[in-house]
Amino acid sequence: MPLGRLPALLASLRERLPDDRCAVLEHVLTDAAGPDDPRVGRFIAGQYAAGLAHQLADLVRAWRAEAPGLTGAALALALATARSLPRPEPPQVVVSGPLSASVPARLTSGVATEVIRSATASLVIASFAAHGARDIVEELERAVGRGVQVDLLLEESTQAAEAFAALPRGVRVWHRVGAAGVLHAKLIAADRHTALLGSANLTDRALSDNIELGVVLRDPRLVASLVDYFRWLLEPENNIMRRART
């Protein structure tokens, strides 16, 4: 019988419970013969965190309805497998311009340099325009100094590459091939683990003064997809981007 709600309920419990409490639940489930095992019922009755007993009871109902022949050890293994995977940090709002005391957000300028600083192997950076942004340029210089490969995808019509003219020759600058549209993306991706994307170009005003909105991602699965797409753009056989400087 196909599983319905059971996987989602297990995933929800994994998200809610810290590692030590999740391990306790796994231990209880490992010894349970099925959803009506009294040890499971006693464990649920002893939970006092808001809504947790109800959440566990919902799991047991789904277990009984969807997979009554499944042992508790199987559910424990599913939880342990999920627990072995790293928990991605949630996305974080990033803004330029005025800040509200009641709305949690971070300034684009600070997050941009932080993301660059976190790179150990590679940086993929895209911007429609670039001007000034001396803090960004200096952080890129330090990244190159520690051996990070930097790829800058820049819109040629805005002369964005001029902002990075002082960077070492090993920094690769890319422009779009042809005139069908422009490179309008804004991205700073460190290795395959952290990325800042949003509306802000790499200009002094966009990083600090304009009203801009973005998000920083620290989920390696999402960041890897972004990086793979931009790396695909750079493949010579696709004839989408050309290297302007090596």
Bigger pLDDT: 206 vs 52: 206
DSSP 191-219: TTTEEEEES--EEHIIIIIS-EEEEEEE-
Last residue of a domain, one of 62, 84, 106: 84
Rounded CA gap, 220 and 238, in Å?
25
Residues 116 and 30 in one domain: no
Residues 62 and 135 in one domain: no
92 three-class SS: strand
Which residues contact residue 96 at a Cβ distance below 8 angstroms, ignoring those fewer than 6 apart? 107, 108, 109, 200, 206, 207, 208, 209, 210, 211, 212, 213
Range(s) of the domain holding residue 124: 89-245
Residues 12 and 78 in one domain: yes
Residues 163 and 229 in one domain: yes
Residues 39 and 103 in one domain: no
Q: What is the pLDDT of residue 245?
A: 64
Pairing relationship of beta strands 149-154 and 130-131 according to DSSP bridges = unpaired
pLDDT over 50 (residue 168):
yes
Last residue of a domain, one of 36, 64, 84: 84
Is 1 part of any domain?
no
pLDDT over 90 (residue 100):
no
Residues 193 and 129 in one domain: yes
Please state, rounded to an integer, the average pLDDT across all residues of the chain.
Answer: 92
pLDDT over 90 (residue 25):
yes
Average pLDDT over residues 67-91: 87
Which residues contact residue 186 at a Cβ distance below 8 angstroms, ignoring those fewer than 6 apart? 126, 127, 128, 197, 198, 199, 200, 201, 202, 214
Residues 67 and 184 in one domain: no
> What CATH number corresponds to the domain at position 193?
3.30.870.10
- One-letter amino acid for residue 153 of the chain: L
**pLDDT tens-digit readout, 109-150:** 999 999 999 999 999 999 999 999 999 999 999 999 999 999
pLDDT over 80 (residue 101):
no
Residues 95 and 65 in one domain: no
Rounded CA gap, 175 and 157, in Å?
9
Last residue of a domain, one of 35, 57, 84: 84
Q: What is the pLDDT of residue 1?
A: 45
pLDDT over 70 (residue 246):
no
**pLDDT tens-digit readout, 148-159:** 999 999 999 999
Tokens representing 38 are: 């009294």
Asked if 191 and 121 touch (Cβ cutoff 8 Å), the reply is yes
Q: What is the pLDDT of residue 3?
A: 60
Residues 22 and 124 in one domain: no
- How many independent structural domains does the chain possess? 2
